[in-house]
Structure 1
Amino acid sequence: KLKGFGGGGGGGGVVAAGGGGGGGGDAPKAEKKEEDEKEKVPQPDKEAHNAKVAAINEAIEKLQKEQNAFTEKINSRSGGKNEFFNEKAEIRAKLDELSGKMDALQEQKKGLQEAVGASQQEARESRQQLNKLRKTIGYNTESEIDERIATIEFKLWTESVSLKDEKKYLAEIQELKRNRPKVSQVAKMEENLSSSKPGAPMKESLSDINAKMALLREQKKEVQAKMSELVEKRKDQLGDLPDIIASKGEISKKIAEKIRERNELRDAFRAEEKAYWDHQAELRRQRQQRQQEERALWQKEMDKKRLMQKAEKLDEQPYVAEMTLIEQTILFCKGLVQSKEPEKKEETGTKEVAKIEGAEVLMAKEDRDEYWFAPTAKSKKGKSKVKGKSEGSSKPIKHNAETFRLFDQLKLDAPITTDDIPATLEKLEAKLDDYNKKVAKWEETREEMKRKILEGADEEEKAEEKEEEKEEKKEE
């Protein structure tokens, strides 16, 4: 009986994925829940907040009604306000005009006063120069100088004097002659100073300015009196309006205080809401973090199980299906060329072959549907040539679709006659030898491959190979 195996090595077993790596039992969960309760931030009571805001709004509305009542009183007593301010503006303009004129006269007065002072200072300086010059000359008139010169000359003529004294007298005469013209100059300066009156014209101008300013002051007093009269008249008209305005101002302050209180209340509520939602976000983040950690632990456990299962698969010989198919095919081919004696046929019973995953069992020859394949023209010629030999030495082999498929699976041509069996057996033996070598290599490297798988090196190598393939595709 031929037991053929299909498409090589059946698929690996299904990995049973447990729900591992999850939480660490009820105790840690209860502990975390207790921590969350301790850190819990209560949600702000929006209804209570709205009630407080409504109470403040009610107080504001009440104050605004009082304020409106004061406003109505003010408006009722504000008649003639425009006329008052217009008249007041006219009086103020007149006062400003008078003040401007007085300021201009004051500037002129200041300039004249400075000029008078300068003139008087100049006169004082001239007097000082005159006195200094007079002291330098020492004589008041030219006749006094002439008399002194005559006295010195007479002395020199009549008396015997030393050479030193003579030189002294001669020098004095020369000095007197030089100063003689200055005497008339001093006299003239004295006359000029006596006749001149420093700042006299400017003093007259100052008097004129003072008179004008006095007139303007009187006019200004009259205008100011009109202003005072207008203001007093307005006060009488308004009555207690200033008190009403002051009361309205107090109400406005209270309203502003209530608005500030309401804003502070809203800000505090928003801060509480923000703290609450921030806390909720933090709780979500912590939950996500715990879930990620649990997922990572679960994934780690699954990876470990997967690697263990992958390593355990290495204990299964990977070429069992292929080698079994080759061995059974060899037996099938050998059975075709062996003598088929009746007694042996009786002895040969149907053996039950254990089913191997991924393998297919070929039915017994006598149980199969028989198919005759007509030999090709080429085959006929060959038959005619060997006909001279013993006619029963080469026999056609009966095949069905299943046997053809199994030979095709081995990448071999199915033998058509018994003469094709030896060549087919050689090919099958060669294939079996190749698989035996592969099995020997697998046995040598199995433990090392297990170690790599368990250490994760196998996964890293596959990842590197994938990256290299991607790079090659990009380059292409």
Structure 2
Amino acid sequence: MADVATPPAAQKATANGSAPQGKQQIVKPDKPDEEKYKEELAKLEKEHAAAQEKLNACKAKLDNAKPNNKDSPNAKRQQELKTELNAIRQTQQGNKSGRNAIFEKIKKLDDQLKQQLAELKTAKGKSNYKSVEEVDQEIARLQKQVDGGMMKLVDEKKALAEISALNKARKNFSGFDAQQKKIEDIKAQIAEQKKLLDDPENKALSDKYTKLQTELDALKAEQDEAFKNLRTLREQTDKARAEQQEKYQARKDLKDAYFQQLRAYKTYESEARKIRFEKRRQEQLQYVASKRKEAASKRLEEASTPAYGDEIIAAEGLIRHFDPSALPPKETTAASKFAASAQRTVDESGLKGTRISKKDTEEESYFVGTGGKKGKKGKKGGASSAPAKFNLNIGIIEELAKVGVEAPSSQEDIPATVEKLKAKLAHWKEDQDRKTKENIAKAQKEIERLEAEEAEEEASGSTDAARKPAQKNQAVNGNASAEAELTQEKDATADAAEDLKKASLEDKEAAADA
């Protein structure tokens, strides 16, 4: 199996770091779980808020317990309550003179009421009956007994005397009603005076005063209780502060760990992306450079070939075709010892017939017409009576057009055509060396231009290594620069070459394993 190559990022880290034993292995950091982080952060935020609230409460109690601490909330509230109570007392002091007169009048009426009630009670105490109805019922009962005639004379006199006494008592009950009415009048006067005292504004002030005084007493009691436990409150405050700092540090550690891991992940991804883009760019440059070198070598090889080679061969062939004696015969190369030889010989003694030579075949390829038949009389002497027509093969015409010589229209034009071909042939052979050097110079100049472009591309680079490619390399609004499209096509070619290369390597590895 082939060895696994170390990734570029690992190579870079190995080169920068010290690894005494083997290569340093770079481990890709894991991407932090954002949902888990948010859940844990919310939990720690809640715990920290509760600890902060507890600390604030302890600090408030401690401030209240400190003596002569005018800035504490308790002391400030006490001062506010005292100010309001003083204002209410001043308002009530202004209304005190009028209320005193009312109180004096109520007192006099109350004395009169008590006197009338005592007199009425004394008068009623002398009678055995509580109301006029009871007296009337007793009188009716006694009168009925007297009217019945069943009583003794002594009892009847006694009953009549009692009836007379009851009638007098009945008259006294009428005086009770007058006294009761007088008592009710006194009560009504007292109620009127009390209404004057029951002013809504005065009552509201009184209620407010009572409420504020109650709150002030509670604050004083709280301050006194806190002052007694001052040391305990300080210990509670220190404990609450330590708990708050612990929750704060836990939240801070969670945030620091999350963002540190996130930065490490992003840094690794960024570096890996840069390395991939740089590797791709270098491979692309190498591929393009190899293609350019190959094209330059081919172009230089073509330029080094003697100039006018095809034209000279075509011209010589045409001259030999029209006038075989105009040029010396072609030199035949000596047979090489490495040339292939016939494996068997053919005995021609048994063959019958006439052998057709190559020359006869070539001559038959050209046709000299006779102008057609002209009756029976021209059948015998047709060759001498009709002029011959001149025809050329289409291949010969194309060769003449290639060398720039007009095709002859008759047999008489052939010598002139041959002279033109000889003149061109002489010119080409004479100018061949100069033209060859000129072609080599042009090819060398083109190679230098391509090498300069290659150096410029290596210096600038054509691949976007950033997260967002440049606008010119994107088809924004349907338009992209021609240069960018060409560069991206080259990149695509490089990618395809890289894939083919990898596939070839994999095939070789598989063959090696087999």
Is the TM value for this pair above 0.5?
no
TM-score (norm 2): 0.37
TM-score, reference length from structure 1? 0.39
RCO higher in 1 or 2 (8 Å CA, sep ≥ 6)? 1
